[in-house]
Amino acid sequence: MDFNDDDAGPSHYYAHEEVFDEFRSDSDQSDNDSIPPLPPPTVKHRPKTLKGIIATLYLALDGVVRIDVRRDYVLEDALVECKKEDFSPKKLLKVKFALEHAIDLGGPKREFFHLVSTEATKYLIGDFGKFFTTNALAVQNRVLFALGQYCGMSVTQGGNGFPYFHHLVYEYFVTGAVSCTIDIDRDCIPYGILKYILDKLDTADSKDDIQAVFQVDEATEFLYATGYTKPVLNLGLDNKDNIQSILVAYHCFLKVKSEMDQFIEGLCVTGVLDFVRESPSVLKHMFVLIKKKLTAEELKSLFKFECGLEVDSLEPIEKQSWRFFCNFLDMCEGSYSYCAFYSEFTLLDDCGQCIDCTISDVLVFFYWYRQCATSRI
């Protein structure tokens, strides 16, 4: 399956915050335990937009559940809290951090969701998109079920979900099926020995090359763990594609099916899974690691330009400065050098070469400027 990435990105995060603020009831602001009831939508009128989905899920919350957690042990405490009788993922969550006196009007809860999603990665594996890893103890203790619940609550109640899964893991959330013809970017393979096998098979040009790959004992174990029974001495080029697909399907998905299914079970309890399967592209950015570069337009949208009112004569200068800044961001997006943008202002490195400036450099400059300004106060 191929889900459109165009629907994902920073704008969805802003929309999520707006939805949460707009549909937060007055009773939530006053820390009241009641939430206005909302009848479940009919199939005919199921929402298809992010705003509609979040609003439907949020307004369907019934009651309030309060949890106390220690900041340094947030996941451990969260796992204990979700086993209490009065806990329900369909209730409005109120979080109190130990030894902190903040009243939860949204901030502590979002911080809690962020910390839980970060700590949850200890049960996952992978650098370029997370996969589940085998953990029988976690399955036995229903840890993945709890994480699925908190992920769904994060989506519903103002968090950012768990936005780091590989897109094929999200595809499993959507379809509930594992394809045996999986094609995956080699850099995303979470196991070193598996990546080694696949790379060697990619360059194999003969029967001897195929068999040489599995002269390594660990490679042979990885192959036969899948249930493959053909002897290594009988392997040929016609087996290459089949072996690669089976290895990826088993070690990245089928081997951890219990872990994935338990997480999905927790997600289902919150009501989020239904919308994931109905509108996968809309919610994808809350589950999947999406590589998206920050653009000049997105950065400019964070600023609101207003001319000074006290000295009208400065208005043309202020407008010119704003245009200069906007053009500067556009140039940075294209990795233009400073001197190519402004001939009177040239920065050189130690070798006398022009220094390129990118959007990342601009963000670093803002951070540095803020730190300097703070230190002067």
Residue-wise pLDDT for 97-143, tens only, equals 988 876 666 678 999 999 999 999 999 999 889 999 999 999 999 99
Nearest to 236 by CA among 211, 213, 265: 211
Looking at residue 356, what is its pLDDT? 53
Question: Residues 198, 213: contact at Cβ < 8 Å?
Answer: no
Residue with tokens 């893991």: 169
pLDDT tens readout for residues 2-42: 444 444 433 344 345 445 554 444 444 444 454 445 555 55
pLDDT value for 371: 54
Tokens of 255: 């081997």
| Measured CA angle at 289 (ends 295, 251), to 5 deg | 150
Domain ranges of the chain: 5-174+263-286, 186-252, 296-376
* pLDDT over 90 at 153, yes or no: yes
pLDDT > 90 in the chain, percent: 43
Token pair for 370 = 């803020």
Task: Compute the average pLDDT of residues 316-336.
Answer: 74
Inter-helix orientation angle 167-175/257-269, to 10°: 60
Considering just the CA atoms, what is the radius of gyration of the chain in Å? Answer: 26
Q: pLDDT for 47-90, tens place per residue?
A: 888 889 999 999 999 999 999 999 999 999 999 999 999 999 99
**Amino acid identity, residue 198?**
L
Q: Exposure pattern of 214-227 as b/e (b: 16+ CB <10 Å)?
A: beeeebeebbeebe
The segment with the largest mean pLDDT, out of 234-243, 290-299, 335-344, is 234-243
The answer to whether residues 137 and 237 touch, using CB atoms and an 8 Å cutoff, is: no
User: Which two three-digit tokens encode residue 261?
Assistant: 């299914």
Main-chain dihedrals φ then ψ at residue 65, nearest 5 degrees: -125, 130
pLDDT (mean) for 296-317: 69
User: Which whole-number Å values give the CA distances from 15 to 18, 46, 143, 283, 304, in the listed order?
Assistant: 5, 19, 30, 12, 18
Q: What distance, in Å, lies between the first and last C-alpha atoms of the chain?
A: 54
Residues whose CB is less than 8 angstroms from the CB of residue 55 and which lie 6 or more positions away in sequence, other chains included: 19, 22, 23, 47
Among residues 173, 170, 169, which one has the least CA distance to residue 252?
169
Separation CA 247–CA 253 (nearest Å):
10
Q: Is the pLDDT of residue 341 over 50?
A: no
Please give the CATH number for the structural domain made up of 5-174+263-286: 3.90.1750.10
Mean pLDDT calculated for residue range 253-282: 95
pLDDT band, very low/low/confident/very high, at 312 (cuts 50, 70, 90) = low
For 177-207, how does the pLDDT look when each residue is reduced to its tens digit (9 = 90+)? 887 667 788 888 889 899 999 999 988 999 9
pLDDT class for 306, splitting at 50, 70, 90?
confident
Chain center to CA of 212: 39
| 67-55-300 Cα angle (round to 5) | 95
**Backbone dihedral angles phi then psi of residue 204, each to the nearest 5 degrees:** -70, 130
In total, the chain counts a number of residues equal to 377
